Amino acid sequence: MTQLHELTALQLATAYERGDTTPAEVVDHLLARIEGGDRVGAFTTVSADRARAAAAEAGRVLRTTDRAGLPRLFGVPTAVKDLEATAGVRTTLGSALFRDWVPDHDDEIVAVMAEAGLISLGKTTVPEFGAACYTEPEVAAPARSPFDLGRSAAGSSGGAAAAVGAMLVPIAQGSDTAGSVRSPASACGVVGLKPSRGLVPGGPGGDDGMGLSVKGPLARTVRDAAAFLDALTTRTGAGLVHPPRRRGADGYERACDAPVPRLRVAMAQGSVSGAPVDAEVAAAVERTGRALAGLGHDVFARDQAPDPELTENFRVMFTALVGSRAAAFDGSAMRPIVRHLRSAAHRSSAAELAASIGVVQARARAWIRDHADADLVITPTVTAPPTRVGELRDDSDPAAELAAMTAFTGNTVIGNATGCPAISLPLGWSSEGLPLGVSLTAGWGREDLLFAVSAALEEALPWADRYPGRSGAAQASAAVADAS
């Protein structure tokens, strides 16, 4: 029998409509799972009382209001990344400096999610100021991959991805500056989308000023991710730049069922960071290429050459962002990697930063030009399977830690530099049963195309039965699929 935590966000919406369950029942069930032992370190703060009150109100509305007039995901549980200020809820930013901070306002993305009728169960764990591709803050337990508790959930949306992969919530909000949605999606075996630059509103203070950071959905299914993106893009005019609207009247969810024309797909192995790609990760990309060819698309191989100009100048930009967030606070209370980035930012002049921005923009345009003959580009999401908890952290040598993180994230910076949408899908599995993400990148504003192709791949190479905590029958079907 399917249990409530196994239902997707859209399945929960349908169950509410049919009267099969209520938001209160679902929220109580998920909170019991979290409070009974959040072994994956998904949550830094659980807002149980607020969630139960919101669920009770959602149930009342569902009983007294025409369902057709409510948002698609009304009453569905979710979680907010702990970098987003949430009025009345502790928001630590992953830092001991903010261990007890309770904001009096909501960031834009939190308000948008509330308008969509989503119910947040709490704040998901992040590294300090989101400044690492692993999630091991001082204020909470490390975020771990649900597929192996000794492995990191990556970062910085590690807690969000772990919460979804462990079936603590069906969907969760993430944000992505250098791969912070897609790297955790890969490590936790979930779907993670970095939307086009400017698509999801950041509000008056919600953009980083360089165009790198975006908010995006994490989900177990492509359709849930699409429906969540529909919810996140209901406000217009709140951002500085908007991609062309291609979603149509029915939204991104509907795009999952749209017919896909024959596409030219570049299968690009390698990494702009220059780091070697693990053989099993490369095999996952090859498998995805074969699946797309089997679906009738024209797939051709292409090497992704190292691009030190892009990675080194992107690092200067990222360093400046972290330095600006940390500039006003006591450095002695910060993690070594954050102190290192802040010091590096202080040593860099405005002219050097401006030059790096120019180089990154030029290299981004060159990447788009080099792939102008492709409708989609598929690459490894990251260069390796999920790392072990503590493996990337190096407090004694944060410069070496930064180099190791750059090597691990590999190609993720391309999406942030170009502004193009990129989605990580759990399309590969290691010999140890660990998820291996494969990334699909489309042209600016073409989330509709990404969702249509991703839905087809989800059907061709399904992953739903692999999640820990599924029924024995479901796990057995996954084993049969592996053997066939």
**SS3 track for 280-310:** HHHHHHHHHHHHHHHCCCEEEEEEECCCHHH
| Of 95, 120, 156, 424, catalytic | 156
DSSP H or E segment with residue 439:
strand 435-441
Residue at 111: amino acid letter: A
Which residue of the set 95, 152, 175, 180 is catalytic? 180
From 140, 141, 148, select the one nearest 165 (Cα to Cα).
Answer: 148
Q: How far apart are CA 66 and CA 284, in angstroms?
A: 45
For tokens 């990344």, the residue is 81
3-state SS record for 99-114? CCCCCCCCCHHHHHHH
Parallel, antiparallel or unpaired: strands 422-429 and 191-194: antiparallel
Q: How many residues does the chain have?
A: 484
Residue 324 is among the residues annotated as catalytic for this protein = no
User: Helices in 233-349 by DSSP H: which ranges?
Assistant: 251-255, 279-294, 308-326, 336-347
Residue 406 per-residue DSSP state:
H
3-class DSSP state of 80: strand
Sheet holding 119-124, edge to edge: 43-46, 119-124, 77-81
Peptide bond preceding 343 in cis form (omega within 30 of 0): no
Distance (Å, whole) CA 472 – CA 477: 9
Element (H, E) at 48: helix 48-64
Q: How far apart are CA 343 and CA 92, in angstroms?
A: 22
**So which residues are the catalytic ones?**
81, 156, 180
